[in-house]
Structure 1
Amino acid sequence: MATVPFVTCDLLDDNPEKELQVVTPSMDGKFFKSYGARKTFGGQVVTVKCFEDNSRVKELLATDGQGKVLVVDGGASMRCALMGDLIAESAVKHQWNGVIIYGCVRDVDAIAELDLGVHALAAIPQKSNRKGIGETDIPLYFGGVNIQSGDYIYADNNGIVVAKEPLVEL
């Protein structure tokens, strides 16, 4: 596993002049939990918006992800998972640094063994349906932040920070 080059708290403290955004927990108790073996991860953002259909998640994580983090707006659905162990294994194979899902994952014990950063709202055993629905590279809004493909995102057990430019070399 790679050496951890940052702590999100320090990124905020060390960059007061930059317009950094912090994903906030919601009032209804929705907050991100870490599921992957990489507890600290970051990279350039690729966005996907999908609701209870992980077709685009599977497609994107099967492409070159070196230096990237897939950010998925799953509409905070608690009814099905947008990523399981097979898709997570594909992400590792294609060198993604991590995946942040505003929704659920499954196969959490297997994902916990993979060298991949994974933050999601919850776990559920139900898989999603694949109907080929979803949009990629579009602006997302959740947790009080705007996130676009090309932004940079940093995550650890303290939280998630979004920046317009790289803050550390990964």
Structure 2
Amino acid sequence: MNEMKPVAYTRIPRIDKSLIERASQNSVADLHEGLGAIAGRRCLLSTAMRPVWPGAGTCGQAITCYNYPGDNLLLHIAAKLAEPGDVIVATNGGSAQGALWGDMITYYAQRKGIAGAVVDGAVRDTGRVREMGFPVFSTAISVSHPEKRGPGSANVPVVVAGVTVNPGDLIVADDDGVLAIPPELVETAVANAEARAAKESGFRDKLDEGATMYDLLGLERDVAACGLTEIEGTWRGAVPPDA
């Protein structure tokens, strides 16, 4: 069997910029719901993926890279290939050995106009990353020294925090988590998210007028279907309904 050779693809399929802009105006929660129950779960990265600093958020297409554990050479290749507005999505299989991301690559990425980074592996220099205000999400923090020898690949499908991310997927991230949305699902996700946000805005108006969430969500039928019994009194003193 021939040994697999490192490879870097220079292009990704592009999503219309106006659609990316619309997506950026929605929360991860609304887009997750907008994808539906199955796709929403399939696109949602593990909760191990967290923002390096509170309030971080990003939206852009994925430039992916796989790095050998302890090495970040291919991350630098991905950063070279990325265009303004793209998001670097890097993995070494989730190992904390060899920090994939730090302050100098942050400085370079910010100057280049890269929109953010999602790292399944270690990030370091987090204080300076926070000071620069560059959105980075990661599964680990460690100062562990990275080599730059390879092997690895760029702009190939990678598994990141439990989700397969393809080059060109739309990455949307905020305090709640990270989504990787395939291009063919973006328009539906955005349209549904916008409708959901508009509906919830109307809910707030009705709540201000005294409505209850129980009524607004129409939960009476769901409560009846689950067989819930309401008993008058406290759990200590009430008479069971079948006594």
TM-score (normalised: structure 1): 0.83
Query: Are the equivalent residues in 2 in contact too, given 1:82–1:127 (CA < 8 A)?
Result: no
Higher relative contact order (CA 8 A, sep 6+): 1
For residues 1-170 of structure 1, what are the structure 2 equivalents within 5 Å? Answer: 5-16=25-36, 19-20=39-40, 21-25=43-47, 31-35=48-52, 39-51=56-68, 52-165=70-183, 166=186
* Alpha-carbon distance between aligned partners in 1 of 2:82 and 2:154, rounded to the nearest angstrom: 15
Query: Are the equivalent residues in 1 in contact too, given 2:82–2:88 (CA < 8 A)?
Result: no
Query: Are the equivalent residues in 2 in contact too, given 1:62–1:90 (CA < 8 A)?
Result: no
Backbone CA RMSD of aligned residues: 2.1
Q: Secondary structure at the match of 2:131?
A: coil
Could you say if the C-alpha distance between residues 38 and 57 of structure 1 is closer, same or farther in structure 2, counting changes exceeding 3 Å? farther
Give the equivalent residue in structure 1 for 2:193. none
Q: How high is the sequence identity, in percent, across the aligned residues?
A: 24
Gaps of 5+ in 1: 26-30
* Alpha-carbon distance between aligned partners in 2 of 1:76 and 1:24, rounded to the nearest angstrom: 12
Q: Secondary structure at the match of 2:164?
A: strand
Gaps of 5+ in 2: 1-23, 191-243
Aligned length: 160
- What is the CA-CA distance between 1:142 and the residue it aligns to? 3.4
Higher percent of residues as strand: 1
* Alpha-carbon distance between aligned partners in 2 of 1:58 and 1:37, rounded to the nearest angstrom: 26
Q: Secondary structure at the match of 1:86?
A: helix
The letter of the residue matching 2:61 is Q
Query: Are the equivalent residues in 2 in contact too, given 1:101–1:120 (CA < 8 A)?
Result: yes
Q: Secondary structure at the match of 2:104?
A: helix
* Alpha-carbon distance between aligned partners in 2 of 1:32 and 1:5, rounded to the nearest angstrom: 21
Could you say if the C-alpha distance between residues 12 and 101 of structure 1 is closer, same or farther in structure 2, counting changes exceeding 3 Å? same
The letter of the residue matching 2:144 is Q
- What is the CA-CA distance between 1:148 and the residue it aligns to? 0.5
* Alpha-carbon distance between aligned partners in 2 of 1:89 and 1:56, rounded to the nearest angstrom: 18
TM-score (normalised: structure 2): 0.60
